[in-house]
Amino acid sequence: MVLIEVRHLTKRYGPKVVLRGLDLRVEEGEFVALLGPNGAGKTTLLRILASLSKPTLGEVWIAGYRLRDQAAWVRQRLGVVSHQPLLYGDLSAEENLRFYARLYGLRNAETRIREVLTLVGLWARRRDLVRTFSRGMQQRLAIGRAILHDPEVLLLDEPHTGLDQEACDMLDHLLRQVATRGRTVVMTSHDLARAADLASRFDVLSGGCIQASARREDLAGDALLTFYRQALGPQNAASVSKEVFP
């Protein structure tokens, strides 16, 4: 079943065209890594999918709902993690989740909050103010916030930004757990190594549209790096360092 469908998506900011007639289909349960250089339009695409930005042209369907006129239904089915935690520093971890639980009309909110805080390993720190958390802890809580209402689709915008190695590993562990529950995930990244570790499909976004797409099983060993370089073309590929891929 197709859970995300994007047709002929165009986004302009004044004279600058960020997305040019982009098409994308994501099946239920897929973990798609959206790769591309800085400025390729990855965040713009994710913001449009999340209903935070309106497309100039084109249509988006998520879980069968058209984003243009059924945005509230779409939002009910989405969880979003960005490089900002979307959390209030002056509220505790528990209070932040309680606030979002109220906005999402969560039934049995207290049970679910306990489940989520346990899953992200912050139950013991539930009463601490978020501003006392490290960046890694905040990002784990951000994941908790995003999955609190058990969304069908999870959109992750560079979730590893600013995290140290240990925090990245914990985040990856958490994302694998989410993915194994059959949730559909779209993650933007320019970190090939992390993407290779997590995703089941790789789409390369460059020049405002998807240049290439490949499944994990079709790319063995070094093939992802080669695939990525080929998708970017000779001009952009020169900037891709082999060090980003083990």
Partner 1 sequence: MKATGAVSFWQATLAVLWKDLAAEWRSRELLSAMLVFALLVIFIFNFALELQTQLRASLSAGVLWVTLTFAGTLGLNRSLAVEKDRGCLDGLLLAPVDRAAIYAGKALANWVFMLIVAAIMLPLFGLFYNASLILPGVVLVVLLGSEGYVAVGTLLASMAVQARTRDILLPILLFPVVIPVVVAAVKATGGYLQTLPLEEIRPWLNLLGVYDVIFTSVAFMVFDSILEE
Q: What residues make contact with partner 1 under the rule CB under 8 A? A: 50-54, 72-73, 75-76, 78, 80, 82, 84-91, 95, 99-100, 102-108, 112, 129, 145, 149-150
In terms of C-beta distances under 8 Å and separation of at least 24 residues, what long-range contacts does 20-24 make, across chains too?
A: 20/207, 20/208, 20/209, 21/57, 21/58, 21/208, 21/209, 22/58, 22/205, 22/208, 22/209, 22/210, 23/209, 23/210, 24/203, 24/210
Q: Which is nearer to partner 1, 42 or 149 (CB)?
A: 149
Q: Which is nearer to partner 1, 23 or 88 (CB)?
A: 88
The contacts of residue 228 (CB under 8 Å, 6+ apart) are 35, 192, 202, 204, 237, 240
Q: Which is nearer to partner 1, 117 or 204 (CB)?
A: 117
What is the C-alpha separation between 89 and 83, in angstroms, rounded? 15
CB of 163 vs partner 1, minimal distance in Å: 16
Q: Which amino acid is at 116?
A: V
Q: Which is nearer to partner 1, 113 or 232 (CB)?
A: 113
CB of 119 vs partner 1, minimal distance in Å: 15
CB of 107 vs partner 1, minimal distance in Å: 5
The contacts of residue 219 (CB under 8 Å, 6+ apart) are 196, 202, 227
Q: Which is nearer to partner 1, 91 or 219 (CB)?
A: 91
CB of 55 vs partner 1, minimal distance in Å: 10
CB of 49 vs partner 1, minimal distance in Å: 11
Structure tokens at 152: 């069908």
